[in-house]
Structure 1
């Protein structure tokens, strides 16, 4: 994250700028206005403000005008292909920044962004809001506390109808990027190897379905099923380990633990492991706070120099490297080692 040489005085309201007033930007505007310790003082979008986000603020034309408004930090919610250009301008101006996922259009581009914020000693973050989902936060906490024992496998399913808002990327960079990020985060290990298969069923330039499998550096095996072509909306992450399985439904924010049954009698009769049976199922009662609000509070805490759960730009680059490896694998029919 760099030296953070210029974090802001703790408790002083953060003067926030927002660039990009589209489908994600409008939600960021609302949340920034709600978060204690943040003030939305400037907004920008060259295409105007179709959602009425600005309210009493002038809609500025570009990132230079946003910087000129005297902001401390910025939220970047422009289309992916503009992330590098906008983020580099903010870094050059000394503005702390969170960029909506993915960090940039390519890993190479993302690396330039990450290096610019590192060199400037600025707080740079990537907006992977799924990490702030209550079910995933609780899953990671419980795995870290040893409640699953050794983790064997993490699988994700992210499926649903096509979203009209996406124009510039396929399903891998738009959706699978979430699963790749959250899997490495839950397991606390980077990816080591990945293989992917994609299809183009909707007549668009970019892929609309992907199945990816892989292995993390710590030996956990993973799989991701992601598409825009399912009539059923599914958002599920399952972590399986030596004591059972955690099942997170990130649509509802529910977390369930299914324990391995008592199979000691089987073990007593056999000298080797024969498997497990289904044991008790526990659904945890969780506090359900809006993930986007949790994300902005984490960014604010990082700006104040407090302990924070922001996604670093280096993590954002790794996720893009994995995303590109999935697409390379699908194009070449080979397994890619990172």
Structure 2
């Protein structure tokens, strides 16, 4: 029986709590939040203990914890959890700075504990299927992957702009599907309804002739979550929301067989398996750091109006 806790019971944290409470072989040992009324309500609903101080929850003998707090708080909460000998899943982005990400990665290594980053789209059945299709060679060499992640602004997002909040999903997915690190970034963005950027067009380069394009905003009145992968033998169209993948080539238009499932449930089930077996997670801390580096480079690019080399 794995004993797990959740720190942060906002919109996303509540989903972590719900899913853990339904898992076999997992005991939801506690939930923590600075909002006492909310955390007590959650604890009552899901028949667990409530804590306003997460360190007191650690004393309950946790094996693993989900950290679902604002990005600026990730570093300290994760370091405290690792110091307590607890496996950690931290929501994306991994941290607010690459320096803090490095501290978290080093702490996990020293503690010999898992640090997994919640890049949930890797656990979307459509993305899993497209990765299989790309690896099989059906589309041939992939030369361009473009994404559209747009929709109305969510007022609960106050500490980061659209690139770090939702654009980072597609930055990670593009790198994951190619199986390559992103070398350089050029972005055009602006802030029109938010204190941080609320729309961005980002061009990514891997090696010399592999391209990625991310279009994202908080201005579109309806939600769109789509990806197009162009190969020399065909094109794949993926819909994150409907969990569909359609392939087009010179002869056929085919729909891939995708079994729909909840990405977060897939992700947390995988995390629990890693915690139980000790196997290295994917995405790991280094993956989370790379996505953060690219997102930060995109922000720097639009602010300075120039191409930015990643990690330099």
- Establish whether TM, by shorter chain, passes 0.5: yes
1:288 aligns with 2:260: yes
CA distance in 1, matches of 2:135, 2:37: 43
Give per-residue Cα distances to partners, 1:262-282, cap 9 Å, x unaligned: xxxxxxxxxxxxxxxxx4211
SS of alignment partner, residue 126 of structure 1: strand
Q: What is the aligned counterpart of 1:197 among 188, 206, 219? A: 188
Number of corresponding residues: 307
Structure-2 residue corresponding to 1:331: 303
Structure-1 residue corresponding to 2:19: 31
1:165 aligns with 2:156: yes
Whether contact under 8 Å (2:90, 2:118) holds in the other structure is yes
CA distance in 1, matches of 2:225, 2:69: 25
Q: CA RMSD in A?
A: 1.5
Whether contact under 8 Å (1:35, 1:296) holds in the other structure is no
- Pairing of 1:12-27 with structure 2 (within 5 A): 13-27=1-15
- Pairing of 1:61-140 with structure 2 (within 5 A): 61-140=52-131
CA distance in 1, matches of 2:211, 2:264: 29
- Unaligned ranges ≥5, structure 1: 1-12, 262-278
* TM superposition shift of 1:35: 2.2
Whether contact under 8 Å (1:235, 1:249) holds in the other structure is yes
TM-score between both structures, scaled by the size of structure 2: 0.95
Larger radius of gyration: 1
CA distance in 1, matches of 2:37, 2:228: 39
Q: What is the aligned counterpart of 2:43 among 38, 54, 73? A: 54
Whether contact under 8 Å (2:114, 2:278) holds in the other structure is no
CA distance in 2, matches of 1:127, 1:213: 23
Q: Following TM superposition, where does structure 1 have runs of at least 4 consecutive aligned residues deviating by more than 6 angstroms? A: none
* Structure with a larger share of its residues in helix: 2
CA distance in 2, matches of 1:309, 1:49: 34
* TM superposition shift of 1:50: 3.0
TM-score between both structures, scaled by the size of structure 1: 0.88
Structure-2 residue corresponding to 1:183: 174
- Unaligned ranges ≥5, structure 2: none
